[in-house]
Amino acid sequence: MWRRIAGVVMTTEPRRTTSGGISLLRAGGARGRPLVLLHGIGSNALSFAAMMTALSASRPLLAWDAPGYGNSVPLSGDWPSVDDYAAALSGLLDRLEIHAVDLLGHSMGALVAGRFARNFPKRVARLILASPALGYGTRPGEPLAPPAAARLDAMVAEGAEQFAASRGPRLVHAVENAKLVAGVVKGMSEVKLPGYAQASRMLSCADLVGDAGQIAMPTLVLVGGEDQVTPPKNCLRLYNAIAEATPSLGHRFETIPDAGHAVPQERPLVVADLVAAFAPPAPAES
């Protein structure tokens, strides 16, 4: 669906495009500071589709398929770091001629968002970390943290479809919502190698709490109240580390009741409202 507001053509339905080997969904118009969305390890850009539709009248929106996901080209090497993913995002924004953004990362995407905010602070106005994975701080080349190793081993042994069928429903609190569960499972069933293996290794080595002291913009941490993957107490630990480092920046912590880990899919309108209130549309920066 298309609409015209103040002479600017806008679309409420995300549309797919590519840039430099990265596939992405775009929605919204050409005016205002873009909101960029980074998905989790068992998902893809489509996990934000409902949220993008809710926000599309307000600003430009961009959700990537991370390197190695969807039609995006994997990063080089077996063990790319979180810095490599942040650099890939920087390159994408450069190609799109986007300087400053509001940035939301969900789960694994929060690791990339946090490191991007640390490495490129002038490019992030406001940061939203949704159900953030914290990472495990292991070293490249060493054994993965047990949770990361178990997920990767299971995906390789079972194949993506069986892996998704067994694990996907755990990400949703409202398991009686068959359409919602099917969407989460479908996204997870589309993960593939080497992208999932690279992301698993990155997640094991990353340390978002360690990055917290160098996050220098207002940050919202949000989590589903019934999240069993990144439980609220873990997310609160991250929030406290950020708030203690820069207490004057107006950071916020929000728990969304009756929601699990896949909170952008399970509660897209609630998340959209929180994002719009915390990071309202602003003029694009040159």
What is the residue-wise DSSP string for 130-196? ES------PPTTSPPPHHHHHHHHHHHHH-HHHHHHHHGGGG-S-TT-HHHHHHHHHHHHT--TTHH
- How far apart, in whole angstroms, are the C-alpha atoms of residue 137 and residue 182? 33
63 φ/ψ angles, rounded to the nearest 5 degrees: -125, 120
Over residues 112-130, the mean pLDDT reads 98
Q: Which residue has the higher pLDDT, 3 or 104?
A: 104
**Axis-axis angle for helices 108-119, 82-95 (nearest 10):** 70
Summarize the confidence of residues 141-168 as an average pLDDT: 96
Q: Which residues, in sequence order, are CB contacts of 282 under 8 Å at separation 6+?
A: 32, 33, 125
Enumerate the β-bridge partners of residue 222. Answer: 130, 254
HSE, side-chain direction, 13 A CA sphere, residue 255: 12
Q: How far is CA 27 from CA 22, 215, 230, in A?
A: 16, 28, 28
- Percent of the chain having pLDDT more than 90? 87
In terms of pLDDT, which residue wins out, 2 or 90? 90
* Cα separations in angstroms, 36 against 45, 58, 118, 147: 11, 13, 16, 28
Between residues 30 and 141, the one the model is more confident about: 141
Three-state secondary structure along 222-279? Answer: EEECCCCCCCHHHHHHHHHHHHHHCHHHCCEEEEECCCCCCHHHHCHHHHHHHHHHHC
The angle, 0 to 180 degrees and rounded to 10, between the axes of the packed helices 195-205 and 108-119 is 60
**What sign does the CA torsion over 156, 162, 163, 166 have?**
negative
What own/partner pairs with CB < 8 Å and gap ≥ 24 does 81-85 have?
81/140, 81/202, 81/205, 81/206, 82/111, 82/112, 82/115, 82/135, 82/202, 82/205, 82/206, 83/115, 83/119, 84/202, 85/111, 85/112, 85/115, 85/202
pLDDT at 286: 53
Tell me the pLDDT band of 5, cut-offs 50, 70 and 90. Answer: very low
Mean pLDDT, residues 85-101: 97
pLDDT of residue 8: 35
What is the pLDDT averaged over residues 276-283? 87
pLDDT at 191: 97
How much of the chain exceeds pLDDT 70, in percent?
95
pLDDT grade for 138, boundaries at 50, 70 and 90:
very high
Predicted local distance difference test score (pLDDT) of residue 6: 32
Predicted local confidence at residue 282, as pLDDT: 76
CA distance 77 to 81: 10
Provide mean pLDDT across the span 197-221: 97
User: Is the pLDDT at 12 greater than 80, yes or no?
Assistant: no
- Please give the backbone phi and psi of residue 15, each rounded to the nearest 5 degrees, phi first: -125, 145
Q: Is the pLDDT of residue 201 over 50?
A: yes
Looking at residues 111-129, what average pLDDT do you find?
98
Q: Is the pTM of this model over 0.85?
A: yes
- pLDDT tens, residue by residue, 220-248: 999 999 999 999 999 999 999 999 999 99
Q: Give the C-alpha distances (Å, rounded to integers) separating 76 from 22, 73, 88, 194.
A: 14, 9, 11, 10
Looking at residue 107, its amino acid is S
Q: What is the pLDDT of residue 9?
A: 38
What pLDDT does 114 receive? 98
In CATH, what class is 2-278? alpha beta
Question: Which pLDDT band holds residue 163 (cuts at 50, 70, 90)?
Answer: very high
**Residue 32 — pLDDT band, cuts 50, 70, 90?**
confident
Please report which confidence band the pLDDT of residue 284 belongs to, taking 50, 70 and 90 as the band edges.
low
What six digits make up the tokens of 247? 């207490």
pLDDT of 7 over the 80 cut: no
